Amino acid sequence: MMLLMIVVILVCLVSYVYRSLKPPPPRKCGVPHGPPVTSPRIKLSDGRYLAYRESGVDRASANYKIIVVHGFNSSTDMEFPISKVLLH
């Protein structure tokens, strides 16, 4: 009987610790009670969104369009690795 009580208390303790350490579910941008959308984005054909940021000279005077793709461990706010003087 004592062993059964110890097992029950241990299971309850482990479940409490698990629930307290489990992270909350992720929140989607742009839905009610979610984080706001902070950058322009386009909707892909599979339903996901692709955020982007434009930098450099304006579209009218640009001769080339360069797309810089970043990996999962970086951000859309990453700077293009070239001098601003050279861009203008």
Cα–Cα distance measured from residue 72 to residue 25, given in angstroms and rounded to the nearest whole number: 19
Global confidence as pTM: 0.46
Q: What residues does each domain of the chain span?
A: 2-87
CA atoms within 13 A on the CB side of 2: 0
Higher pLDDT, 27 or 73: 27
Model pLDDT for residues 4-18, shown as the tens digit of each residue = 999 999 999 999 999
Residue type, 10: L
Cα–Cα distance measured from residue 84 to residue 48, given in angstroms and rounded to the nearest whole number: 32
pLDDT of 9 reads 94
